[in-house]
């Protein structure tokens, strides 16, 4: 399991404002993600990242005071990629929606196949990333709920948030464990996950509006 650090995430030293500095930070993050993916947390150093990025160690330290701040930025970048997926996915049928969602989320985890195992199991993380009520988690589930509501062709309602939690947990569990096993590119896993989400949405769509208390008493 990854080391847990009970403090806020280590912040960047300064945020890049100009296009050139933003490009430099992006190159550093790409290099850091590759080293984490290929060499794990034990092989991750700021000197290696700077060498691979083609920047001086001084340039790296202009933005990242230590490697904890760098790995936090890499983790945040991945979370932003997942939010981008959620903002872009909608469709009118359960399987088309599930297919777009699963394919896009797997793609977001596939750039550096070993990265997510390291982020999950090796790299230190703050309590912020484990808080089920964090700002990120609230926003992430809200996008899932909005996507489900858009698929159902109406404004979001409480039932959509329940569906969002179920779909999110299923997606994260399957994809993150596939990353741990090095199986993120397995086409059968992708197909079965699409089938799982599609079947769930089809059943939920047919029963949309059923009283939840009645459903719970029957279970």
Tokens at 136, concatenated: 């990120």
CA 168 – CA 146 distance, rounded (Å): 13
pLDDT digits (tens, 9 = 90+) for 50-71: 999 999 999 999 999 999 999 9
Query: Residue 125 phi/psi, 5° resolution?
Result: -145, 150
CA 76 – CA 26 distance, rounded (Å): 12
Residue-level pLDDT at 10: 54
Do 73 and 123 touch, CB atoms closer than 8 A? no
pLDDT digits (tens, 9 = 90+) for 107-133: 988 888 888 889 888 888 766 666 777
Neighbours of 108 (CB within 10 A): 18
Mind giving me the DSSP string for 25-43?
A: HHHHHHHHHHHHHHHTGGG
Tokens at 74, concatenated: 């890499």
User: pLDDT exceeding 90 applies to what percent of the chain?
Assistant: 34
Tracing tokens 């847990």 back to the chain, one arrives at 4
Residue-level pLDDT at 11: 65
Tokens at 82, concatenated: 């997942």
Band of pLDDT at residue 154, cut at 50, 70 and 90: confident
């Amino acid at each position: 399991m990854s080391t847990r650090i009970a403090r806020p995430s280590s912040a960047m030293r300064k945020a890049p404002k100009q296009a050139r500095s933003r490009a430099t930070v992006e190159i550093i993050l790409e290099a850091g993600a590759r080293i984490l993916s290929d060499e794990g947390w034990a092989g991750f150093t700021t000197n290696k990242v700077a060498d691979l990025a083609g920047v001086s160690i001084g340039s790296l330290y202009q933005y990242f005071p230590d490697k904890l701040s760098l790995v936090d930025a890499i983790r945040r970048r991945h979370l932003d990629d997942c939010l981008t997926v959620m903002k872009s996915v909608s469709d009118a049928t359960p399987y088309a929606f599930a297919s777009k969602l699963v394919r896009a989320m797997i793609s977001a985890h596939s750039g550096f196949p070993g990265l997510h195992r390291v982020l999950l199991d090796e790299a230190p993380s703050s309590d912020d990333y484990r808080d089920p009520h964090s700002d990120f988690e609230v926003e992430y589930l809200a996008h899932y709920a909005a996507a489900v509501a858009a698929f159902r062709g109406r404004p979001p309602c409480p039932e959509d948030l329940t569906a969002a939690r179920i779909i999110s947990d299923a997606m994260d569990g399957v994809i993150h464990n596939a990353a741990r096993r090095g199986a993120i590119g397995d086409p059968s896993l992708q197909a079965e996950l699409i089938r799982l989400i599609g079947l769930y949405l089809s059943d939920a769509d047919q029963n949309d509006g059923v009283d939840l208390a009645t459903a719970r008493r029957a279970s």
